[in-house]
Structure 1
Amino acid sequence: MSRFPFLIREYPLVIATLVVAAVGLILLATPADDAARPVVGGFALLIATWEAIGMIRQLIKGHAGLDILAVTAITAAVLVGEPWAALVVVLMLTGGTALEDYAENRSKRELTALLRQAPQQAIRILHGRGVNHSSDAVTEDVPAEAVEVGDLLLVRPGTLVPVNAILESEHAVFDESSLTGESLPVERDAGERVSSGAVNGATAVTMRAAALASDSEYQQIVRLVEQAAGSKAKVVRLADRYAVPFTVLSLAVAGIAWALSGDATRFAEVLVVATPCPLLIAAPVAFLGGMSRSARFGLIVKGGGTLEQLSRVRSAAFDKTGTITTGKPLLARLLPAPGFEQHELLQLAASAEVYSSHVLADSVVGAAKKYGLGLLESERAEEVATNGVAAALRTSRAPDATVVRVGKASWVREHASDVVLAELMPGELAIYVAAGPHFAGAIVMRDQVRIEAKQALRDLDELGVSRTLMVTGDVAATAVPIARDLGISEVHAECRPGDKVRIIGGVQPRPLIMIGDGLNDAPVLAAADIGFAMGARGATAASESADIVNRYDTLASLPHAVKIGKDTVRIALQSIWLGIIISAALMLIAAFGFLPALLGAWLQEVVDLVAILGALRAVGPRSERAPRRSSSKEAAALNCHTTREGE
């Protein structure tokens, strides 16, 4: 009973139609049975008038819709003395919204699951440390949106991390599967960054907020999901393009049947089976299902139109660092400047890089962790897009905080003129570090090709992608061997962001999908027919510019995206044509007088259900699983390395 007020509020016309049907049936069972026909017929004409007004408004705006068939069918059925058939058409017309809502909710369940899991609350520590299950802390519950950067937070066992934060407790274990797709628990030590949306393990921990809720990772993912869920595919409007020819065909068949038989009832009998709900409902349901299926693979597809483009994709262009390669290099060697020790150089870099969202930052922090180096306390930090990160750290060298800069040589040299470029072997990259005005040294690392890259390219070829190319800022000496090993024959090296946009603009055949990551790929991701952001997190420029955001850091998701696009468009078109063909067959049967209006109206309800169930196939089987993330150990086994220079 608690659902009844909701149904009345959301679907008043459906409830009104059922009430009128009940009243009509009661009247039939009484001496006043003659009143049933005018009650039912009058209500049907009232609904037809209401729909006609809406139809005229759409026509004035230049949108030729399919409602004209339903309005004509209702009116004709009443006029020829078939009010009950008209009422069934009314039920189909008004109930179509409820059916579509059900189908949408069913098809969007993976998307809405993300929205439901968004962190809502946080526990702010006012006094005390609160490490031992808050026994020595004074706390307050606040909305996640009220958390300020620098607030000390208590995260209880099994609860969500409310905002991006730095771990204050010595050690903690988190479930990050909703962010990365990695099912195994992840261990974090004091000083490491933990993303919002991660689930704390069995012990309460304290954390220092590093970002506002609006700037934190999970909330940004939710924002992308909401944008995706609110989109509409071009192919959904394909049903509108069928409106005029389908309407003309239906009216022509009905008119011919009336003319040849001399019976106006034939006209109504044909039109009641020509009502086009399958065309209106099936395509949107299919595309929402495809987007939901994509979410199961960690893919946030920002629009149904993107799925349509994916179904026809013919070319694929790849960035290298963080895309073809893992973007998580291994430490090769440390090159401290005179006056600095190796461990000091790595500790300075890691203490600053913990505040960076760059794909290489985790590798530096991980290297420091591996060697047992603690992170230095920071007073403030700032990431400078495309250059590096600067953090004011408390070191043993000076009583006041020292600004440590980590990043590209050219940027670090602006603040430390004594920078010395490292001599790199093929496949190596260098990260430069300055402490105040002094050059502290360089960290040399090696990147690794993704273990799944070669199979992903083979899968794309099987899916009809006939041209693949690498477009990278890296030098040709590094890029070409990697591309050759993967079967990519076309390489454009040492490209600036503008060069990438120009190259991509001239590639044929189209559509083209561009796969990249990071800030420098944002322009080309936006310029491509389809932008695919690898492992993009939060409000990065890549995720904002791309059409598809790959939350799970694996290239195996790429062919899955193309396959989902092909399956979705195929199912959407099948559902549209299924509705057209069945309706056309029923019209022909009705035209010869073998299908009474009331039976035809009920059969059209069955056609609606068949079309919707067919469209729901786009959700895919529940047994599907997201591709496994490539491990750095597996990638290292390939012994194929790359560089970051000019990334």
Structure 2
Amino acid sequence: MRQLRLLWRHPVITITVIILAVVLTLHSIGAEQAGRWLASVFVIGFIAWTVVDMARDMLRGHFGLDILAVVAMVATLAVGEYIASLIIVLMLSGGEAIEDFAGRRATRDLSALLDRSPRVAHVFARTGTADSSEMRDVPVDEVAVGDELLVRPAEIVPVDGVLLTDAATFDESSLTGESLPVTRERGEEVLSGAINGTHAVRIRAVRPSSESQYQQIVSLVQAAENSRAPVVRLADRFAIPFTAVALLLGGIAWAVSGEPSRFAEVLVLATPCPLLIAAPVAFLGGLSRSAKAGVILKGGAVVEQIARIRSAAFDKTGTLTQGRPELVDIRPSPGFDADELLELAASAEQYSSHVLADGIRRAADVRGLALRTATDAREEATNGVVAVIDGREVAVGKPAYIASLAPDTVRAALDVSQAAAYVSVDGRFGGVLVLADPPRPEAADVVAWLQDHGVAHTSMLTGDVRSTAESIAQQVGIRDVHAELLPPQKVELAAKINPRPVMMVGDGVNDAPVLAAADVGVAMGAKGATAAGDAADVVILVDSLAKVADAVSIGRHTLRVALTAIWIGVGLSVGLMLVAMTGVIPAVAGALIQELVDLATILYALRALSGPPTGLPRR
């Protein structure tokens, strides 16, 4: 059945083989003229089909390398080498089959990811009790936030949820690349796409399917698969000079020898399969390898661009740091109590999406403080949040913003890795909440790796206060620090960074504009930052900055393999053409030899599926 599917997928190969067998048979029984007519009619039809496709490409602005194959087929027919012309047809159609096979091999990991997408969830009926045993199967798209789900042994978790069972083991290799199973405790988040262990567990959905981790990965992979790889551009760069060289060598051979057949003998060795096939296979391999490593590169163009980066800029919170700051100190102003200040601030921070807000709310919960409901609340973009609580206007945010509301605001002295949320109440300075968010343990290694591997300039672009930004930058090895920036200012600064191209790494909604504006935008998407992920060219699916180095390393290795595959094909073809100019390679033999050149370049291109590790320590 597999062979039948192959023949159905590539019928030109089957027809060409049959016609070649018939022609050889006719030739052996003395009916050479009949064989010549049969071969000529078939090859002329194939040439017409190829010319139509080539014309369509040229109308779209793409110079087709197929012109060499067309010239070679016309030349072999013209000099009576009709068997060689059939072999060229077989070579071109066989090259497409090899490309299809290699492409399927290269995209195997991507296809497996798509095929495993969960479609059904086992949802418990909402009866008001946690012990309800009534359950129904529903499409995964219909799961609502708050629904309680059963995940059976070895099943894929359908949506992101919180574990209700005491403990469970999950295989998260498709999400993180971590080969060993991980254990989650009650209350921990379980990501969709993880495979449950040997015991059935219960989870409570915290996100709908469309916003869950696995569905976001699937959407990104589909977008990456459907994008146009830059190998078309890579091939275009070689198309005109390669065609000119081939025609020139063929013309010289004809002129010197005086034999038209010499032109055909040279041209059969100039067919463009190495350029048209090997490089696309390399880029597909790179996309597949990166997806398996937990990095989604949104198309081949991104692979080429990230391979060439010369500068890197980083956001701070959630990117260079863990992004989960903990409250370490409360410094109330005279007239305010510490618990009162924390309670008011946490009540206002209910209406904020800033990363510090989560730490303040957690601290209030740990102290047993009840959060109050605001009668009015608004978030001032990048500055803070304002809420009216029990008739009092409470503002929490950056020092400059709070100082604009409360002139008596006093800036706090902070230690390394600390951040501060300033509070005002009815226009009076209420105090400071000090939080600590240390650098990620791998951050310094990643910055050092980039600097050691051709990234000439590294910088930090952050909206946080300068003292905090500089302390983190010093610890991770970044000297160029730009702090207290608004999103438009980040975009403006990113545009001025040199040398180019520049890569920007961020995680939050406020990073979306600069990620979209950078030459390569990289989003830390492990925590579901959909806006940043949508705007970025690269999405890191694992909560580790080390994957940034992996993305750059994979991009460079893939581009290097693609270019080397092209040069192998071009070098072998030109060398063989020079030999063919002497007349020692008959047209039929040349067509067969060129098939071996195609195979060699494609096998080399498959090296993009693997590559050297970055050497970063894995924590």
TM more than 0.5 = yes
Letter in 2 for 1:187: R
1:475 aligns with: 465
Structure-to-structure mapping, 1:479-628, within 5 angstroms: 479-538=469-528, 540-621=530-611
Identity in percent: 48
1:318 aligns with: 314
Give the distance between the partners of 2:385 and 2:19, measured in 1 at CA: 69
1:63 aligns with: 62
2:305 aligns with: 309
Letter in 1 for 2:257: S
Listed one character per residue, the Cα deviations across residues 565-617 of structure 1 (whole Å, up to 9, x for unaligned) are: 22222221111121111111111111211100111001100010111112122
Q: 1:510 to 1:302 in 2, by over 3 A?
A: same
Match of 1:160 among 151, 156, 161: 156
Shift of 1:618: 1.8
1:100 aligns with: 99
Give the distance between the partners of 1:374 and 1:140, measured in 2 at CA: 39
Q: 1:566 to 1:587 in 2, by over 3 A?
A: same
Give the distance between the partners of 1:8 and 1:361, measured in 2 at CA: 61
Secondary structure in 2 matching 1:284 = helix
Which consecutive unaligned segments of at least 5 residues does structure 1 have? Answer: 391-404, 435-439, 631-647
- Is the Cα contact below 8 Å between 2:313 and 2:502 reproduced in 1? yes
1:401 aligns with: none
Match of 2:274 among 266, 273, 278: 278
Secondary structure in 1 matching 2:539 = strand
Give the distance between the partners of 2:277 and 2:369, measured in 1 at CA: 58
Secondary structure in 2 matching 1:291 = helix
After TM superposition, the score normalised by the length of structure 1 is: 0.81
Listed one character per residue, the Cα deviations across residues 72-125 of structure 1 (whole Å, up to 9, x for unaligned) are: 211221222212111111011112221112222222233333223322221122
Give the distance between the partners of 1:279 and 1:367, measured in 2 at CA: 60
Give the distance between the partners of 1:143 and 1:264, measured in 2 at CA: 68
Letter in 2 for 1:519: V
Secondary structure in 1 matching 2:202 = strand
Listed one character per residue, the Cα deviations across residues 408-450 of structure 1 (whole Å, up to 9, x for unaligned) are: 589x99xxx9xx999674343457999xxxxx99975311112
- Is the Cα contact below 8 Å between 2:170 and 2:181 reproduced in 1? no
1:189 aligns with: 186
2:243 aligns with: 247
Q: 1:287 to 1:599 in 2, by over 3 A?
A: same
2:389 aligns with: none
Secondary structure in 1 matching 2:313 = strand
- Is the Cα contact below 8 Å between 2:91 and 2:595 reproduced in 1? yes
1:219 aligns with: 215
2:390 aligns with: none
Letter in 1 for 2:310: R
After TM superposition, the score normalised by the length of structure 2 is: 0.84
Range 590-599 or range 566-575, more displaced: 566-575
Secondary structure in 2 matching 1:316 = strand
Give the distance between the partners of 2:331 and 2:199, measured in 1 at CA: 39
Give the distance between the partners of 2:296 and 2:546, measured in 1 at CA: 15
Shift of 1:335: 8.3
Shift of 1:193: 4.0
2:18 aligns with: 19
RMSD of aligned alpha carbons: 4.2
- Is the Cα contact below 8 Å between 2:121 and 2:158 reproduced in 1? yes
Q: 1:487 to 1:430 in 2, by over 3 A?
A: closer
1:49 aligns with 2:48: yes
Give the distance between the partners of 1:548 and 1:73, measured in 2 at CA: 42
Q: 1:358 to 1:143 in 2, by over 3 A?
A: farther
Q: 1:407 to 1:94 in 2, by over 3 A?
A: farther
Secondary structure in 1 matching 2:563 = helix
- Is the Cα contact below 8 Å between 1:514 and 1:530 reproduced in 2? yes
Secondary structure in 2 matching 1:488 = coil
Listed one character per residue, the Cα deviations across residues 458-480 of structure 1 (whole Å, up to 9, x for unaligned) are: 21122111111112112222222
1:206 aligns with 2:196: no
- Is the Cα contact below 8 Å between 2:550 and 2:614 reproduced in 1? no
Letter in 2 for 1:259: A
Number of residue-to-residue matches in the alignment: 601
Letter in 1 for 2:583: G
Q: 1:366 to 1:606 in 2, by over 3 A?
A: farther
- Is the Cα contact below 8 Å between 1:152 and 1:209 reproduced in 2? yes
- Is the Cα contact below 8 Å between 2:312 and 2:502 reproduced in 1? yes
2:123 aligns with: 124
Letter in 2 for 1:428: Q
- Is the Cα contact below 8 Å between 2:445 and 2:616 reproduced in 1? no
Which consecutive unaligned segments of at least 5 residues does structure 2 have? Answer: 387-393, 425-429
1:445 aligns with: 435
Secondary structure in 1 matching 2:498 = coil
- Is the Cα contact below 8 Å between 2:330 and 2:338 reproduced in 1? no
Structure-to-structure mapping, 1:400-439, within 5 angstroms: 408=397, 425-426=414-415, 427-429=417-419
Give the distance between the partners of 2:116 and 2:57, measured in 1 at CA: 39
Range 314-323 or range 197-206, more displaced: 197-206
1:89 aligns with: 88
Shift of 1:47: 0.8
Range 257-266 or range 179-188, more displaced: 179-188
- Is the Cα contact below 8 Å between 1:219 and 1:538 reproduced in 2? no
Q: 1:187 to 1:267 in 2, by over 3 A?
A: same
Secondary structure in 2 matching 1:448 = coil
Q: 1:199 to 1:422 in 2, by over 3 A?
A: farther
1:268 aligns with: 264
Q: 1:343 to 1:581 in 2, by over 3 A?
A: same
Q: 1:201 to 1:368 in 2, by over 3 A?
A: farther
- Is the Cα contact below 8 Å between 2:174 and 2:292 reproduced in 1? no
Listed one character per residue, the Cα deviations across residues 537-572 of structure 1 (whole Å, up to 9, x for unaligned) are: 446211111111111222222233222222222221
